[in-house]
Amino acid sequence: MLVLLILSVAIYLLLLGRLQAMGFLIGAMAGGSLLSLILKELFARPRPDLVPHLSYVTTSSFPSGHSMLSAVTYLTLGALLARSTTSGASRHSSSSLPSRHRAGGR
């Protein structure tokens, strides 16, 4: 599901011609994956043997790759969204504040 979201947003950004934002998204995902693998090797925490695993897993249990990549994905998408909407909102608020202040309004 996460891969589908990332691919959809990357294609959307490509169609809009926002190649820098698309590169930022892909770079963040690659960086998050790499960081997850490095941290797994660093901590080397074995997976619990409480229940039998349905598949053979070669990586350590901490940090959770799913949790880390979800956080990276949604924080990156939030940053891209904030960056794309901030300019219009800041222009509106900065142009309307002085006139309200001069008029004595709140």
Q: Give yes or no for a contact between 6 and 50, defined as CB atoms under 8 angstroms apart.
A: no
N-term to C-term CA, the chain:
46
Residue 104 has pLDDT above 60, yes or no: no
More confident residue, 102 or 74: 74
Residue 87 has pLDDT above 60, yes or no: no
Phi, psi for 6 (deg, rounded to 5): -65, -45
Task: Please tell me the distance from the alpha carbon of residue 62 to that of residue 21, in angstroms, as a whole number.
Answer: 30
Task: Please tell me the distance from the alpha carbon of residue 32 to that of residue 94, in angstroms, as a whole number.
Answer: 36
